[in-house]
Structures are given as C-alpha cells and as structure tokens.
Amino acid sequence: MSSLTLDAVDWRILGVLQEDARIANVDLAKRVHLSASPCLARVRKLEQAGLIRRHVTLLDPIPLGLTVSVFIQVRLEKQVERALDTFEQAIADRPEVMECYLMTGDADYLLRVLVKDVQALERFIVDFLSRVPGVGNIQSSFALKQVKYKTALPLPGQSPNRSNRTTRKRKA
C-alpha cells in the first residue's frame, strides 16, 4: 500500500462505498459533493493505493439455510511455525469457515463457522478439524443470536447515529 494522504472527501467516499459498493459514480459524486470525473479519479486512486480491496455482495445466511453459527477455539499440540502453517493451509479452502484468527490466550485459533445444522457441524469437526495434524483441543460455542454484525470499518469523522439510541427521561 502506498503512503497516500487522505482528505475529508476521500474519507466520505470510502464511507459511502462501504454502505453501497454498487452506487453509481454520479450518485457517489453527489453524496460527496464532487463532480463525476474527479470523483471517479479519486475512487481509482483509492483502489490503486490498496484501500479498496474488492467489491462484494453480502448474502443473508438464514434464507440460504445456513442457520448454525459457531465459534470454535482450537489449541494446537505445539505452537511452532510448521504447525501453524499446516493448520492455516488446512482451513484456507473450507467454505464453512467464515473467519479465522491466530489468537493470544488459551486458544491458538478462533474460527467462526457457519453451517446448515448440527450434523454438518459434527461432520466438520469429526471428519475434518479433528484430523488436521497438530490439533490438540477443540472447543465450540454456539451463537444463539447475532446482536451486531457489520462489515464497514470505523472511519475518522464518523459519529454514532444518535437517532438509533434510546434515551430515558429522568423524573424530577
């Protein structure tokens, strides 16, 4: 990534694109108070600088039958580079692994796995995860309810939407 200096307009462009990556350039330009041509040039500059990695479509997992969300803590037998590489390569192409983090603390890895049912989770753990060389311990926690999920990064200059907050009046 280059050492690009961003101004307020660049930050607004990034914020709008996080909300709607399919927005037409003309509409984006209006939202950030630019004309279309300079707006497009800025977007291209942000892409070339590596700030915009890709454009995606976010799907709703529930109507697609992916109703079981599980967080899995994995502890390896040894925390050596070879074991870490082996584990990371093994899970890299697993479509049900939505996220994977190398962690500090009790677990070496934290996975977020999305599957259609408990049987699919069992197959993932028994037939795949427990067979990855070097895996020493697996602990799963089911998500009962998704309280918050977002894909947009917090950007400078953004303030919390105060209209979404509930306030209580104090009694005198």
Parallel, antiparallel, or unpaired for β 97-102 and 109-115? antiparallel
Q: What is the mean pLDDT of residues 4-19?
A: 96
- Segment 72-95 shows an average pLDDT of 97
Let me know if residue 124 belongs to a domain: yes
Q: Is 161 within the bounds of a domain?
A: no
Model confidence pLDDT, tens digit, residues 59-71: 999 999 999 999 9
Token pair of 130, please? 């427990």
CATH code where residue 34 lies: 1.10.10.10
Give the domain extent around 40. 8-48
Tens digits of per-residue pLDDT, 14-52?
Answer: 999 999 999 999 999 999 999 999 999 999 999 999 999
Q: Are 83 and 128 contained in the same domain?
A: yes
Question: Is position 73 within any domain?
Answer: yes
Would you state the pLDDT for residue 148?
96
Name residues whose C-beta falls within 8 Å of residue 114's C-beta, 6 or more positions apart in sequence: 61, 66, 68, 69, 70, 96, 98
Which of 23, 92, 31 has its CA nearest to residue 52? Answer: 23
One domain for residues 75 and 44: no
Q: Are residues 99 and 131 in the same domain?
A: yes
89 shares its domain with 134 = yes
pLDDT(127) > 70: yes
pLDDT digits (tens, 9 = 90+) for 133-166: 999 999 999 999 999 999 999 999 776 664 444 4
pLDDT confidence band for 73 (50 / 70 / 90): very high
Let me know if residue 130 belongs to a domain.
yes
Q: What is the pTM of this model?
A: 0.84
Residues 82 and 111 in one domain: yes
Torsion of CA 98, 103, 108, 114, to 10 degrees: -20
Distance, in Å, from the CA atom of 74 to the CA atom of 108, rounded to the nearest integer, reads 6
The letter for the amino acid at 168 is R
- 41 within domain boundaries: yes
- Residue 161 sits at φ, ψ, to 5 deg, of -75, 105
Please check whether residues 108 and 72 belong to one and the same domain: yes
pLDDT of residue 170 exceeding 90: no
Domain count, the chain: 2
Shared-domain flag, residues 98 and 136? yes
pLDDT in tens, 86-103: 999 999 999 999 999 999
pLDDT of residue 160: 67
Burial 6-39 (b: 16+ CB within 10 A, else e): beeebebbbbbbeeeeeeeeeebbebbebeeeeb
| 168: confidence class by pLDDT, cuts 50, 70, 90 | very low
Residue 151 lies inside a defined structural domain of this protein: no
